[in-house]
C-alpha cells in the first residue's frame, strides 16, 4: 500500500497538489528559454564590445552612458577576465545551454534526475560567479554595465526557480516547509534579492545617479 501524506473523511489518501505552472515541464522550459535568451543577447553584445576594444583600445562601449554606467571601465578591469579570457565568452556557452534545455522541455522531452542535478549545479556555480561579479562591479570597480545587469537579473530568477522546481518535482528530497517555500515563495525570494541588489546599487551610486 502506498504511503500517503493526508487522509480525507473516507479514509482515502488525498491527491498531491500539482506544482505551479512554472515548475512543470513546459512552464519551466519557457522560464529557461526566456532567461537564457535575454542573457545570451546581453553576453553577445558584450563580446562584440570587447572585440571592438581589442581592435581599438581608445574606443568606448555603446553602454557608456556617463555617471555610474561605464561598460568600458568594467570590461577593462581584471575581474572581466577572471579565467584569463573575457567572461562573456563563458556566457555564450552557458546561456546557449540554458536555451537548449528550455527548448528541449517545451518540445516535450523528459530529462532524467541526474541531468537536473547537474543542471542545478551548473546554475548554482553561474549564479555564485555573477554574485561575485556584482560585488566587484559595485564595490571594487565602482562602475555599472547594463548588459551585465541584465544577466544578473535573469540568472537570479533562473537560479531560484530552478531550485524550487527541483524541490517540487522530487529531484531534491525536501521537508514540507521547504516545499512550501518552493511553491509559494520562490518568486518572492528572487524578487527580494533583485530589489536588495538594486537598492545597494542606488545607495552606492546615489551621487552619480541623481546628478
- Evaluate if residue 4 carries a pLDDT over 50: no
Is residue 16 within a helix (H) or strand (E), and if so which, with residue range?
A: none
The grid coordinates of residue 169 equal 518535482
Whole-structure pTM value? 0.89
| Percent share of the chain, pLDDT over 70 | 92
What are the residue ranges spanned by the domains of the chain? Answer: 21-209
pLDDT of residue 93: 97
Predicted local distance difference test score (pLDDT) of residue 63: 83
Pick the residue with more confidence: 166 or 16? 166
pLDDT tens, residue by residue, 26-62: 999 999 999 999 999 999 999 999 999 888 888 888 8
Query: What gap in Å lies between CA 48 and CA 162, rounded to an integer?
Result: 30
How many Cβ atoms are within 10 Å of 109's Cβ, its own excluded?
12
With a cut of 50, say whether residue 7 has pLDDT above it.
no
d(CA 174, CA 172): 6
Q: Is the pLDDT of residue 3 over 70?
A: no
Q: What is the pLDDT of residue 15?
A: 41
| CATH (residue range 21-209) | 1.20.1440.130
How many percent of the chain have pLDDT more than 90? 76
Confidence of residue 80 (pLDDT cuts 50, 70, 90): very high
Burial label for 126, CB within 10 Å (0-12, 13-18, 19+), is: buried
- DSSP line for 35-85: HHHHHHHHHHHHHHHHHHHHH-TT---TT--BTTB-HHHHHTSGGGGTTSS
Angle, alpha carbons 37-40-44 (nearest 5°): 140
106 contacts 64 by C-beta, under 8 angstroms: no
Q: Give the pLDDT confidence of 97-113 residue by residue, as tens digits.
A: 999 999 999 999 999 99
Chain mean pLDDT for the chain: 90
State the residue for C-alpha cell 524541490: 167
At 180, which helix (H) or strand (E)? helix 176-184
Per-residue model confidence (pLDDT) at position 16? 59
The Cβ-side half-sphere exposure at 9, using a 13 Å CA radius, reads: 0
Amino acid at each position: 500500500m502506498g504511503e500517503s501524506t493526508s487522509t480525507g473523511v473516507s479514509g482515502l489518501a488525498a491527491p498531491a497538489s500539482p506544482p505551479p505552472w512554472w515548475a512543470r515541464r513546459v512552464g519551466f522550459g519557457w522560464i529557461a528559454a526566456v532567461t537564457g535568451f535575454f542573457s545570451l543577447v546581453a553576453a553577445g553584445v558584450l563580446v562584440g564590445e570587447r572585440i571592438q576594444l581589442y581592435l581599438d583600445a581608445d574606443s568606448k562601449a555603446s553602454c557608456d552612458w556617463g555617471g555610474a554606467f561605464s561598460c568600458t571601465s568594467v570590461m577593462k578591469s581584471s575581474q572581466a577576465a577572471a579565467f584569463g579570457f573575457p567572461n562573456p565568452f563563458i556566457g555564450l556557452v552557458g546561456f546557449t545551454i540554458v536555451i537548449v534545455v528550455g527548448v528541449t522541455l517545451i518540445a516535450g522531452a523528459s530529462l532524467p534526475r541526474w541531468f537536473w542535478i547537474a543542471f542545478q549545479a551548473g546554475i548554482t556555480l553561474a549564479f555564485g560567479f555573477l554574485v561575485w561579479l556584482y560585488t566587484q562591479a559595485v564595490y571594487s570597480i565602482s562602475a555599472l554595465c547594463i548588459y551585465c545587469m541584465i544577466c544578473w537579473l535573469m540568472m537570479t530568477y533562473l537560479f531560484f526557480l530552478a531550485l524550487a522546481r527541483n524541490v517540487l518535482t522530487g529531484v531534491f528530497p525536501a521537508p514540507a516547509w521547504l516545499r512550501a517555500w518552493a511553491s509559494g515563495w520562490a518568486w518572492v525570494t528572487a524578487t527580494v534579492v533583485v530589489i536588495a541588489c538594486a537598492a545597494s546599487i542606488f545607495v552606492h551610486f546615489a551621487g552619480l545617479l541623481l546628478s
